[in-house]
Amino acid sequence: MTRPAEALPTQEMLINMGPQHPSTHGVLRVILRTDGEVVVNARPDVGYLHRGLEKIGERVTYAQFMPFTDRLDYLAAMNCNCAWAWAVEKLAGIEVPERAEYIRVIVSELNRISSHLIAFGSFTADMGAFTPFLYSIREREVVNDLFEMLCGNRLTYNYARIGGVSADLPPGFLEKTKEFLDYFEPKIDEYNNLISYNKIFVHRLANVADISAKDAVAYGLTGPNLRGSGVKFDLRKDEPYSVYPKLEFDVCVGTGERGVLGDCFDRYMVRINEMRQSVRILRQAVAQIPEGPVMAKVPRLFKPAAGEVYFRSECPRGETGFYIISDGTTNPSRLKIRTGSFVTMNIFEKVTRGLMIADIVAVIGSFDIILPEIDR
């Protein structure tokens, strides 16, 4: 016996997903309004990790803020370190030795690889495939070993300095980096064979939460999330900084290869392809790095001239921008940190409307958000 749909009234439910939930990658709370298993509305609630980094920034000197940038995005602390150093150098007009710039590019790209590995591993784990996570952690350990060799730390590096880097590369670092690249590059194909084109995995991601290029730009998506929608924009190419103009690489964009353009699968695939490009950049940087000093002569306590600078650089989770207002003293008068994950969460409510609850997990994984960067 069939009944008309209105004879079976369903009741909307309000469900909390998080703040403690394994697939939300931290303390993200999503307030779900669902009709059965269909999401009517998913509203993100952020701020559980708010530590007031912008207020702290007004109370410490430019050099003292460096360790705090580690805590912005702990999976890509090197990128945040370098972003802060570049921003302050732009504000104060500091020239950095070329060797230091090469070292920054090397550590940034290594960290991009390790960050994308976590994105890839945790995403696949969220989708129910646990094995690739172990593979990605195995490779990330090698990067962590390299960073430990460099600065003694494995997570929060505090390695860059205003005007250079804290120490020159230790003996054998470049050789070990080369070894890692030779070891790592074939692994990307292994990941693709193992999981990327797995039929179930593709079905979970393709055609889910697609974002048009126009929406992606209007909603301020950056980094792999923007490129996943087919927008060819990479700050390393389009607003070149450091020594990136001397290095050759391609900007990876989504192509809609398994579904529609800008779906979860495209965002996933952009990260996989970017790891290959990072390997390419690293090979060139390791071959080209010149000898020389790694630190410019910058006093610990310096007073940049009064002025305002907005500097943004390409971090693994999109654009990390620092808007610094200097009033001519040793501390910033105002420090605004614009992070990729925070702005990305803005589009979350729009793209999740009408999806299944299980797809929410796919969307969070495909955005590759990190909570300390959202909450600052």
Partner 1 sequence: MEPQTLFDAVKAKFGEAALELQATGFRPAFVVVAPASIADVAIFLRDDPAMKFDSLMCLSGVDAKERFAVAYHLHSLPHNHQIGLKVFLPRENPSLPSVDAVWPAANFMERETFDLYGIVFEGSKDLRRILLPDDWEGHPLRKDYKYPESYHGVKL
The residues near 39 (Cβ < 8 Å, ≥ 6 apart) are: 32, 33, 352, 353, 354, 355, 356, 357, 359, 360
- Closest listed residue to residue 275, CA positions, set 348, 212, 185: 185
Question: Toward partner 1, which CB reaches closer, 317 or 376?
Answer: 376
Q: Does 19 bind partner 1 (CB under 8 A)?
A: no
DSSP string covering 127-148? TT--HHHHHHHHHHHHHHHHHH
Binder of partner 1 out of 345, 351, 369, 370 (CB under 8 A) = 345
Q: Does 325 bind partner 1 (CB under 8 A)?
A: yes
Helices 98-126 & 77-92, crossing angle to 10 degrees?
140
Question: Toward partner 1, which CB reaches closer, 316 or 321?
Answer: 321
Tokens representing residue 34 in the block: 């669902």
Identify residue 47 by its one-letter amino acid code.
Answer: G
* Residue 190, strand partner residues: none
Binding mask 77-96 for partner 1 (x = CB under 8 A): -------------x------
Extended strands (E) in the chain: 12-17, 29-35, 38-45, 160-161, 164-165, 307-315, 318-326, 332-338
Binder of partner 1 out of 10, 12, 35, 50 (CB under 8 A) = 50
From the centroid of its chain, how far is CA 86? 17
Binder of partner 1 out of 147, 233, 241, 244 (CB under 8 A) = 233
Question: Toward partner 1, which CB reaches closer, 55 or 138?
Answer: 55
Angstrom distance (rounded) from CA 107 to CA 315: 12
Q: Does 135 bind partner 1 (CB under 8 A)?
A: no
Q: Does 262 bind partner 1 (CB under 8 A)?
A: no
Q: Does 323 bind partner 1 (CB under 8 A)?
A: yes
Distance in Å, CB of 46 to partner 1, minimum: 6
Q: Does 321 bind partner 1 (CB under 8 A)?
A: yes
- Closest listed residue to residue 21, CA positions, set 32, 13, 11: 32
Binder of partner 1 out of 153, 220, 251, 280 (CB under 8 A) = 220
Binder of partner 1 out of 33, 55, 154, 353 (CB under 8 A) = 55
Residue ranges binding partner 1 (CB under 8 A): 46-47, 50, 52, 54-55, 90, 215, 217-220, 231, 233, 238-239, 305-310, 312, 319, 321, 323, 325, 334, 336, 338, 342-343, 345-347, 375-376
